[in-house]
A and B are shown apart, each in its own frame.
Chain A
Amino acid sequence: MTRHENTARFPRRALLKAGGALVVSIGMPVGLDTVLGIGKAFAQGAKPPLTPDQLSSFIAVNADGSVSAFFGKMDMGQGLFVAIGQIVAEELDVPFKAVTVLMGDTATSVNQGGASGSTGVQMGGKQMRMAAAEARRVLVDMAITRLGLPANELVVTDGIVHAKGDASKKVSYAELIGGRYFNVQLDWNKQYGNALYAPGKAKPKDAKDHKIVGRPIRREDIAPKVYAQEDFCTDVKLPGMMHGRMIRPAVAGAVPVKVDESSIKDIPGAIVVWQKGFLGVVADKEWDAIRAAQKLKVEWSDAKPPFPAQSALYDHIRTAPVRKHEVGGKEVGNVAEAFRAAARVIEAEYEWPFQSHACMGPACALVEIRDGKVTCWTGSQKPHFVRNGIAGTLGIPADDIHVIWVVGPGSYGRSDADDAAMDASVLAKAIGRPVRVQYTREQATGWDPKGPASIHRARAAIDAAGNVVAYEFTSKGFSRIDVNTNGGAPWDTLAGQMRDVALKSGDGFGVPAESYEFANKRLAWETIPPLLDRASPLRSAHLRDPVGPQIHFASESFMDEVAAALDVDPVEFRLRHVKEPRDIAVIKAAADKAGWQTRPSPRKDQTGSKVSGRGIAYAQRNGTRVAVVAEVDIDRSTGKIWARKFTVAHDCGQIINPDGLRHTIEGNVVQGVSRTLWEEVKFDAANVTSIDWMTYPILDITETPETIEVVLINHPELPPSGAGEPSIRPVAAAVANAIFDATGVRIRRVPFSPDRVKQSLS
Chain B
Amino acid sequence: MARIDLDVNGKVHTIDADPDMPLLYALRDELGLNNPHFGCGLAQCGACTVHVDGQAVRSCVTPVSAVGNGKVVTLAGLGTPEKPHPVQQAYVEEQVPQCGYCINGWIMTAAAFLNSTKKPTDAQIKEALTGLKCRCGTHMGILRAVKRAAAMMG
Contacts and interface: CB of A to CB of B under 8 A. Distances in A.
Contacts of B57: none
Interface in A386-419: 407-412
Interface string B12-53: 000001100110010011001111011111101101000000
Interface in A87-123: none
20 contacts: A77-B97, A77-B100, A78-B98, A228-B74, A234-B34, A287-B17, A359-B135, A360-B45, A360-B101, A407-B100, A408-B101, A410-B98, A440-B41, A663-B95, A663-B138, A669-B137, A692-B44, A693-B133, A702-B127, A705-B140
Given A358-B135, A360-B102, A701-B129, 4 more contacts: A222-B92, A359-B135, A410-B101, A412-B135
Contact of A667 (B22, B100, B137): B137
Given A409-B39, A666-B140, A225 B97 contact: yes
Q: Which of B39, B139, B141 has the most CB of A within 10 A?
A: B139
A234 B97 contact: no
Contact of A659 (B25, B47, B95, B107): B95
B61 interface: no
B99 A408 contact: yes
A670 B139 contact: yes
B120 interface: no
A77 B103 CA distance: 13
A219 B139 contact: no
A308 to B, nearest CB: 28
Contacts of B101: 232, 360-361, 408-410
Chain B at the A interface: SS class: loop
B99 A226 contact: no
A704 B140 contact: yes
A410 B137 CA distance: 11
Name the prevailing secondary structure of the A interface residues. loop
Contacts of A712: none
Q: Which of B22, B37, B99, B102 has the most CB of A within 10 A?
A: B99
B84 interface: yes
A693 B40 contact: yes
B91 interface: yes
A226 B29 contact: no
Contact of A286 (B25, B42, B103, B130): B25
B142 interface: yes
Nearest to B133: A693
Interface string A230-258: 11101101000000000000000000000
Given A227-B84, A228-B35, A360 B140 contact: no
A659 B95 CA distance: 9
Interface of A: 20-21, 76-78, 218-219, 221-223, 225-232, 234-235, 237, 285-287, 358-362, 407-412, 438, 440-441, 659, 663, 666-674, 692-694, 698-702, 704-705, 708
B31 to A, nearest CB: 9
Given A360-B99, A670-B138, A700 B47 contact: no
Nearest to A78: B98
B28 to A, nearest CB: 8
Contact of B133 (A218, A360, A673): A360
Contacts of B100: 77, 221-222, 225-226, 230, 407
Nearest to B102: A360
Given A663-B141, A666-B137, A667-B136, A219 B95 contact: yes
B79 interface: yes
B103 A227 contact: no
B29 to A, nearest CB: 5
A660 to B, nearest CB: 9
Given A77-B98, A222-B96, A361-B101, A701 B126 contact: yes
A635 B131 CA distance: 21
B8 to A, nearest CB: 13
Interface in B55-103: 74-76, 79-81, 84, 88, 91-92, 95-103
A113 B34 CA distance: 30
A410 B135 contact: yes
A666 to B, nearest CB: 5
A708 B140 contact: yes
A694 B141 CA distance: 24
A227 B83 CA distance: 10
Given A441-B42, A702-B130, A361 B137 contact: no
Contacts of A78: 98
Contacts of A227: 75-76, 79-81, 84, 88
Contact of B34 (A231, A285, A670, A673): A231
A223 B92 contact: yes
A286 B79 CA distance: 28
A256 to B, nearest CB: 23
A659 B141 CA distance: 13
Contacts of A407: 99-100
B132 interface: yes
A361 B38 contact: yes
B92 A362 contact: no
